[in-house]
Amino acid sequence: MPHEIAFGEIYGPPLLALIPIAYILMIIFTKISTKLGWYKWIALPAIFELSLVAIFTIALSQMMAIT
């Protein structure tokens, strides 16, 4: 049961593929929260965005089936 993702002859961990997806989800969430007016209540936006990427990465990794 492999735990790597193969890109040709280059092997990488499965989280390597999930982090860009989590980053895109963070951008979408940030744009929605800005339009709804929630983003003005965030004290440290950079740390908030980094935390969102971590939360989305963990949530996606829990849903990902490693076969």
Digit-by-digit pLDDT tens for the chain (67 residues) are: 457 777 788 888 888 888 999 999 999 999 999 999 998 999 999 999 999 999 999 999 888 765 4
Residue 22 burial (C-beta neighbours within 10 Å; 0-12, 13-18, 19+): buried
H-type helices in the chain, by residue range?
14-36, 45-63
What range defines the domain where residue 35 resides?
A: 5-63
Model pTM greater than 0.85?
A: no
Say whether 39 sits in a helix, a strand or coil: helix
Name the domain count of the chain. Answer: 1
